[in-house]
Chain A
Amino acid sequence: MNTYQHVVWAVPVTVLLIIFAGTAFADIPVNAVPELAGLSTTTSMDVQGTAMSNTAMNLQLGTGMLDNPPLENGGYLWVWWADVISPPIIGYTVDPFVASIYLLNGIQLPLGEVQYTAGYNEEVTAVSGNLIYQKTTGISTANKTSGEDNIAADRILTFTGEDGGRMTTGEDIIIDGTGAQTVSGNQAYCPFASDTNPFFPPFCNIAMSGSSADISTGSISTAAGVRVIAASADVPVTETYLINAKGVTMSAGYTNASGTVSAFMKAHVQEGIEQPVPREFASDPLGFIPVKAEDISYSETSAASGSINSFAKNMQYQSGIRLV
């Protein structure tokens, strides 16, 4: 009997890095709320038979009231004229004279709103086989520095099916950040962050990455993380995801993974810039108007099916005024 065997000996080993940086195009993390929260779990199982696990984490945080669109722009509204015949132009400024006028009206400088939603989902189902499953997850609303995440999940799954046994698993992590124009002067320690503009421009970015697997034999490790909360804008917003799928070593030796493994990353990045308001006189306040200046759609999927010797993919989305 002819047996058809689809063998993949060389599968993608990919490192994907999406970077957005600079004061003109960048996510601005939110600062932690006064009351911090953190959850973490560790899961370990070695099962012969049937096993399942799922995880869902969601984090939503903003600098203003949640779910109250639209987001408020930072800065004071003001009216300019470029010359004697042009119509008025309304823009934003942090000029001291303008600030003095608004303070007479009891209005403090609006800093601008930023809001983030981050989520993580994972599920595993294994039947008719041996599953060794290790998982650690954590979620924290504290400020994070580079190398730390607000949502983190690490998994190692090794499955050996018997009698047609299979394991399916899916996992994704998402970061959805929107920010109005924000005042840059009080958000970054880096002295160069606001040297050209008193505002960080608005942004509306979403990035999602993850993987799925349907295998009869194989070992899969994944690591997922998101950072959106930081004490200052110096720390970039990040989403990282990596997957490494291999075979297993049994008594007969190393056996390739068998089944289907795929990983993906999708992103839609919309960033703004701050356009200077034309001034007629040098003594007029510096003003800016936020406008959309960038729109990127990104989608990538890698998949392997059959006898898989190795499947690795490392994906990272990083956005901030500085990169790490």
Chain B
Amino acid sequence: MGDYFHGSLVWTIEIPALLVLVLLCTVPVIAADIDISVEGPGISNWVFTPGTTNINSTSIILNVTSISSTWTVSVKDGLDFLKPPLTVGKMVEWDGSAYVTPNPWVLGTSMGIAGPSVPTKTTGASVILDGSNQIIESGLTPVNGLVMPLTISQPVTFHDPSLKGGHRYQVVVTFIAFAEGGPAPVITGIVPAEGITGTIVTVTNLSGSNFLPHSVAVLNRTGSPNINLTVTSVISTKMTGTLNLAGAGVGLWDVTVTNPDGRTGTKPQLFWIKYPSAPAIGSFGPPSGARGAKISIGVTGTGFQNGVIVNLTHGASVITAVVSQVTPTTITATITIPSNAPTGYWNLVVTNNDGQSAIRANAFRIS
């Protein structure tokens, strides 16, 4: 994953008295022009001194009437975590965390995290109750820019029976941020390289390079909606997942991988969506025709689809039939034999619009 570090913004709620809470920021923070606000019911007043250069020892004292309320703690502007410098073009990962009191408790917070070295792309975030693996909120919208507000807005009821009142638990806000300017993904292959329309295909190896966590892949082609790869795993050289081909159009599709920073890589016509069966020719006629003649022909067999193409071939010469009627087992078509067509036996080729074809040698004789 390249260079990364874990930064944190930790709040501790102390309950020294029933109606007085103390919020402690336990992480060393250089706060230049820091602006913190606390809003919520039951707060009679709160104390914080703006302009403090280091708030890790600063208390925010809340006078509240009840602890079963929703409070919004906003930290805005000017935070600079104590962290090593970032390397542009590499992926970095950030963590945020805060202490909260246990059940019952409804959490409503918003946080602003900013700094001169924070990368410009984020993937969104999830809020997890640390130590219990309970997800409080996930799928938060990714944003661009140096400020990434996270709003934990939904009421939360803790389900973990191991949680106990009077204890402190940590809420971990995780997100991944990416710096712009990294290499674009490159696709070299996909296994399997084909699938049957209407089925679900498990992709065991979408191979390439420069894939990133949260990279996405799709099958795409002009005029058709994309088919998303539901990713199950990603490493820099391989993605796995499933493709739902329900209703998918047949034929060759491009494969495109998009990294979280927006860079894409495409390999054209890499994946083949087919009908369940290839066409097969069982019989054909009439057996012969004369140069210059326009004749109707018929083909019987199996697996014929609308859009099927019927060709007669003789070496490099090709006569394409005009198909007028198709059933799964019959094709009716018309051919016009050029006056200079080579005489002799011609091959019959039937090709469905998914690219699957059948050929019969010496099916038609031109005299």
Residues of A near any B CB (own CB < 8 A): 76-81, 84, 87-88, 90, 97-98, 100-102, 104-105, 279-281, 283-285, 287
Residues of B near any A CB (own CB < 8 A): 280-287, 295-298, 300-302, 329-330, 332, 334, 360-364
* B360/A283 in contact, CB under 8 A: no
Q: List 30 A-B contacts (CB under 8 A).
A: A76-B285, A76-B286, A77-B286, A77-B287, A78-B287, A79-B284, A79-B364, A80-B283, A81-B282, A84-B280, A88-B360, A88-B361, A97-B298, A97-B330, A98-B285, A98-B298, A101-B286, A101-B298, A101-B332, A102-B286, A104-B332, A105-B295, A279-B283, A280-B280, A281-B280, A281-B282, A283-B282, A283-B329, A284-B283, A287-B283
* B332/A100 in contact, CB under 8 A: yes
The 5 A-B pairs of least Cβ separation, nearest first, read A104-B296, A101-B298, A284-B282, A78-B285, A283-B329
Measured CB to CB, the closest approach of chain B to A1, in angstroms, equals: 82
Residues of A within 8 A of B363 (CB): 79, 88
A90 and B297 CA atoms in complex are apart in Å by 15
Of the candidates A84, A87, A88, A283, the one whose C-beta lies within 8 Å of that of B300 is: A283
A104 and B298 CA atoms in complex are apart in Å by 10
A100 and B298 CA atoms in complex are apart in Å by 9
Measured CB to CB, the closest approach of chain A to B287, in angstroms, equals: 5
A81 and B296 CA atoms in complex are apart in Å by 20
* B295/A78 in contact, CB under 8 A: no
Residues of A within 8 A of B361 (CB): 87-88
Residues of B within 8 A of A285 (CB): 283, 300
Measured CB to CB, the closest approach of chain A to B212, in angstroms, equals: 47
Measured CB to CB, the closest approach of chain B to A106, in angstroms, equals: 9
Residues of B within 8 A of A80 (CB): 282-283
Measured CB to CB, the closest approach of chain A to B304, in angstroms, equals: 10
Residues of A within 8 A of B296 (CB): 101, 104-105
Residues of B within 8 A of A281 (CB): 280, 282, 300-302, 329
* A77/B282 in contact, CB under 8 A: no
Residues of A within 8 A of B302 (CB): 281, 283
A280 and B361 CA atoms in complex are apart in Å by 15
A122 and B207 CA atoms in complex are apart in Å by 97
Residues of B within 8 A of A77 (CB): 285-287
Q: Which of A76, A87, A101 has the most B CB atoms < 10 Å from its CB?
A: A101
Measured CB to CB, the closest approach of chain B to A168, in angstroms, equals: 58
Measured CB to CB, the closest approach of chain B to A316, in angstroms, equals: 43
* A87/B286 in contact, CB under 8 A: no
Residues of A within 8 A of B284 (CB): 78-79
A283 and B298 CA atoms in complex are apart in Å by 13
Of the candidates A88, A280, A283, the one whose C-beta lies within 8 Å of that of B362 is: A88
Measured CB to CB, the closest approach of chain B to A281, in angstroms, equals: 4
A281 and B327 CA atoms in complex are apart in Å by 15
Residues of B within 8 A of A287 (CB): 283
Residues of A within 8 A of B300 (CB): 97, 281, 283-285
* B287/A284 in contact, CB under 8 A: no
Q: Which of B283, B330, B361 has the most A CB atoms < 10 Å from its CB?
A: B283
Measured CB to CB, the closest approach of chain A to B140, in angstroms, equals: 58
Residues of A within 8 A of B286 (CB): 76-78, 101-102, 105
14 more CB-based (< 8 A) A-B contacts, given A81-B360, A281-B300, A284-B301: A78-B284, A78-B287, A81-B282, A88-B361, A88-B363, A97-B298, A101-B285, A102-B286, A104-B332, A104-B334, A105-B296, A279-B283, A281-B280, A281-B282
Residues of B within 8 A of A102 (CB): 286
Residues of B within 8 A of A87 (CB): 361-362
Residues of A within 8 A of B360 (CB): 81, 88
* A78/B283 in contact, CB under 8 A: yes
A284 and B363 CA atoms in complex are apart in Å by 15
A168 and B295 CA atoms in complex are apart in Å by 65
* A81/B330 in contact, CB under 8 A: no
A87 and B287 CA atoms in complex are apart in Å by 13
* A79/B298 in contact, CB under 8 A: no
Measured CB to CB, the closest approach of chain A to B167, in angstroms, equals: 73
Residues of B within 8 A of A90 (CB): 287
A285 and B287 CA atoms in complex are apart in Å by 14
A287 and B283 CA atoms in complex are apart in Å by 10
Measured CB to CB, the closest approach of chain B to A102, in angstroms, equals: 7
A79 and B330 CA atoms in complex are apart in Å by 14
Residues of B within 8 A of A88 (CB): 287, 360-363
Measured CB to CB, the closest approach of chain B to A317, in angstroms, equals: 38
Question: Whose C-beta in chain B lies nearest to the C-beta of A281?
Answer: B282
Residues of A within 8 A of B362 (CB): 87-88
Measured CB to CB, the closest approach of chain A to B143, in angstroms, equals: 59
Measured CB to CB, the closest approach of chain A to B292, in angstroms, equals: 14
Measured CB to CB, the closest approach of chain B to A289, in angstroms, equals: 13
* B285/A279 in contact, CB under 8 A: no
A97 and B301 CA atoms in complex are apart in Å by 12
* A81/B281 in contact, CB under 8 A: yes
* B285/A79 in contact, CB under 8 A: yes
Question: Whose C-beta in chain B lies nearest to the C-beta of A103?
Answer: B296
Measured CB to CB, the closest approach of chain B to A101, in angstroms, equals: 4
A50 and B282 CA atoms in complex are apart in Å by 75
Residues of A within 8 A of B295 (CB): 105
Residues of B within 8 A of A84 (CB): 280
A102 and B295 CA atoms in complex are apart in Å by 9
Residues of A within 8 A of B330 (CB): 97, 283
Measured CB to CB, the closest approach of chain A to B278, in angstroms, equals: 11
Question: Whose C-beta in chain B lies nearest to the C-beta of A90?
Answer: B287
Residues of A within 8 A of B364 (CB): 79
A88 and B301 CA atoms in complex are apart in Å by 14
Residues of A within 8 A of B283 (CB): 78-81, 279, 284-285, 287
Measured CB to CB, the closest approach of chain A to B118, in angstroms, equals: 64
Question: Whose C-beta in chain A lies nearest to the C-beta of B329?
Answer: A283
Measured CB to CB, the closest approach of chain B to A64, in angstroms, equals: 21
A76 and B302 CA atoms in complex are apart in Å by 22
